[in-house]
Protein backbone atom coordinates (compact mmCIF):
# COMPACT_ATOMS: atom_id res chain seq x y z
CA UNK A 1 0.00 0.00 0.00
CA UNK A 2 2.75 2.45 0.93
CA UNK A 3 4.71 1.56 -2.18
CA UNK A 4 1.76 2.46 -4.44
CA UNK A 5 1.37 5.85 -2.72
CA UNK A 6 5.09 6.50 -3.06
CA UNK A 7 5.05 5.69 -6.80
CA UNK A 8 2.05 7.98 -7.34
CA UNK A 9 3.74 10.86 -5.54
CA UNK A 10 6.98 10.36 -7.50
CA UNK A 11 5.08 10.42 -10.80
CA UNK A 12 3.28 13.62 -9.81
CA UNK A 13 6.45 15.43 -8.68
CA UNK A 14 7.87 16.31 -12.15
CA UNK A 15 4.61 17.99 -13.18
CA UNK A 16 4.61 20.08 -10.01
CA UNK A 17 8.24 21.05 -10.59
CA UNK A 18 7.55 22.68 -13.97
CA UNK A 19 7.65 26.47 -13.42
CA UNK A 20 4.48 28.34 -14.30
CA UNK A 21 6.45 30.36 -16.86
CA UNK A 22 7.39 27.23 -18.80
CA UNK A 23 3.86 25.91 -18.51
CA UNK A 24 2.59 29.08 -20.21
CA UNK A 25 4.95 28.41 -23.12
CA UNK A 26 3.67 24.94 -23.84
CA UNK A 27 -0.09 25.52 -23.58
CA UNK A 28 -1.66 25.12 -27.03
CA UNK A 29 -3.25 28.22 -28.50
CA UNK A 30 -1.04 30.62 -26.56
CA UNK A 31 1.39 32.16 -29.08
CA UNK A 32 4.04 33.84 -26.94
CA UNK A 33 6.03 36.78 -28.25
CA UNK A 34 9.71 37.68 -28.09
CA UNK A 35 11.20 41.15 -28.13
CA UNK A 36 14.83 41.19 -29.29
CA UNK A 37 16.62 44.43 -28.47
CA UNK A 38 20.09 44.93 -29.94
CA UNK A 39 22.22 47.21 -27.79
CA UNK A 40 25.78 48.52 -27.69
CA UNK A 41 27.07 48.45 -24.14
CA UNK A 42 29.94 50.72 -23.19
CA UNK A 43 32.95 48.46 -22.57
CA UNK A 44 33.70 49.99 -19.18
CA UNK A 45 30.10 49.38 -18.08
CA UNK A 46 29.66 45.71 -19.00
CA UNK A 47 30.23 44.47 -15.44
CA UNK A 48 27.73 46.99 -14.04
CA UNK A 49 25.17 46.10 -16.74
CA UNK A 50 25.31 42.42 -15.77
CA UNK A 51 24.94 43.28 -12.09
CA UNK A 52 22.00 45.62 -12.80
CA UNK A 53 20.37 43.01 -15.04
CA UNK A 54 20.36 40.50 -12.18
CA UNK A 55 19.70 42.83 -9.25
CA UNK A 56 17.33 45.42 -10.77
CA UNK A 57 15.84 44.33 -14.07
CA UNK A 58 15.01 40.66 -13.45
CA UNK A 59 13.33 41.07 -10.04
CA UNK A 60 11.10 43.82 -11.47
CA UNK A 61 10.10 42.14 -14.74
CA UNK A 62 9.56 38.71 -13.14
CA UNK A 63 6.68 39.97 -11.04
CA UNK A 64 4.70 41.22 -14.06
CA UNK A 65 1.81 39.22 -15.43
CA UNK A 66 2.63 37.44 -18.68
CA UNK A 67 6.41 37.45 -18.22
CA UNK A 68 8.02 34.16 -19.27
CA UNK A 69 11.76 34.71 -19.60
CA UNK A 70 14.57 37.19 -20.29
CA UNK A 71 18.10 36.61 -21.49
CA UNK A 72 20.98 38.98 -21.99
CA UNK A 73 23.15 37.64 -24.82
CA UNK A 74 26.70 38.84 -25.53
CA UNK A 75 27.76 38.74 -29.18
CA UNK A 76 30.57 36.28 -29.88
CA UNK A 77 31.03 35.97 -33.65
CA UNK A 78 29.26 35.90 -36.98
CA UNK A 79 29.28 32.37 -38.35
CA UNK A 80 27.58 33.44 -41.58
CA UNK A 81 27.40 37.00 -42.89
CA UNK A 82 28.74 40.21 -41.38
CA UNK A 83 28.80 40.86 -37.63
CA UNK A 84 26.52 43.59 -36.30
CA UNK A 85 28.29 46.90 -36.79
CA UNK A 86 27.29 48.65 -33.57
CA UNK A 87 25.75 46.07 -31.25
CA UNK A 88 27.54 43.81 -28.78
CA UNK A 89 24.56 42.60 -26.70
CA UNK A 90 20.99 41.45 -27.30
CA UNK A 91 18.25 41.48 -24.69
CA UNK A 92 15.60 38.83 -25.38
CA UNK A 93 12.33 39.16 -23.48
CA UNK A 94 9.53 36.61 -23.75
CA UNK A 95 5.95 37.38 -22.75
CA UNK A 96 2.71 35.43 -23.11
CA UNK A 97 1.20 38.18 -25.31
CA UNK A 98 2.12 41.54 -26.77
CA UNK A 99 -0.64 43.15 -24.69
CA UNK A 100 0.95 41.89 -21.46
CA UNK A 101 4.38 43.05 -22.61
CA UNK A 102 2.89 46.49 -23.27
CA UNK A 103 1.52 46.57 -19.72
CA UNK A 104 5.07 45.92 -18.49
CA UNK A 105 6.43 48.65 -20.77
CA UNK A 106 3.96 51.21 -19.39
CA UNK A 107 4.62 50.31 -15.75
CA UNK A 108 6.62 52.24 -13.19
CA UNK A 109 8.81 49.14 -12.73
CA UNK A 110 9.81 49.38 -16.40
CA UNK A 111 11.18 52.89 -15.83
CA UNK A 112 13.58 51.44 -13.29
CA UNK A 113 14.12 48.03 -14.87
CA UNK A 114 14.81 49.21 -18.40
CA UNK A 115 15.94 52.83 -18.05
CA UNK A 116 18.20 52.48 -14.99
CA UNK A 117 19.35 48.87 -15.32
CA UNK A 118 19.85 48.64 -19.09
CA UNK A 119 19.49 51.85 -21.09
CA UNK A 120 21.84 53.87 -18.87
CA UNK A 121 24.74 51.62 -19.98
CA UNK A 122 24.21 52.02 -23.73
CA UNK A 123 26.54 53.75 -26.16
CA UNK A 124 24.33 54.24 -29.24
CA UNK A 125 20.58 54.03 -29.86
CA UNK A 126 19.16 50.52 -29.64
CA UNK A 127 16.95 48.69 -32.11
CA UNK A 128 14.14 46.29 -31.20
CA UNK A 129 12.41 43.53 -33.14
CA UNK A 130 9.13 41.92 -32.08
CA UNK A 131 8.60 38.27 -33.00
CA UNK A 132 5.66 35.91 -32.65
CA UNK A 133 6.80 32.45 -31.64
CA UNK A 134 5.68 30.27 -34.53
CA UNK A 135 7.08 26.96 -33.26
CA UNK A 136 9.27 25.77 -30.45
CA UNK A 137 10.65 22.68 -28.75
CA UNK A 138 8.86 21.50 -25.67
CA UNK A 139 10.93 21.60 -22.46
CA UNK A 140 12.56 18.24 -21.78
CA UNK A 141 12.94 18.72 -18.03
Sketch the domain layout of the chain as residue ranges. Answer: 20-132
pLDDT digit string, tens, across residues 69-124: 999 999 999 999 998 888 999 999 999 999 999 999 999 999 999 989 999 999 87
Query: Residue 34 pairs with which residues in a beta bridge?
Result: 94, 131
* pLDDT at res. 45: 93
Work out the percent of the chain whose per-residue pLDDT is above 90: 62
Distance of CA 62 to the CA centre of its chain: 9
* pLDDT at res. 86: 87
Rounded CA gap, 72 and 37, in Å?
A: 10
Question: Are the CB atoms for 76 and 98 separated by under 8 Å?
Answer: no
Q: What is the mean pLDDT of the chain?
A: 83
| E strand intervals along 54-139 | 67-74, 89-95, 127-132
CATH class of 20-132: alpha beta
The verdict on pTM exceeding 0.85 is no
Q: Which residue has the higher pLDDT, 24 or 37?
A: 37
φ, ψ (nearest 5 deg) of residue 46? -60, -45
Amino acid sequence: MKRRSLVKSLLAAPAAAVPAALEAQVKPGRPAIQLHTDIHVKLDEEKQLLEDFHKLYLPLVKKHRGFIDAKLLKFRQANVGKPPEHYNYRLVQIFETEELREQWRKSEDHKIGWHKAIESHLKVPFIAYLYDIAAEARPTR
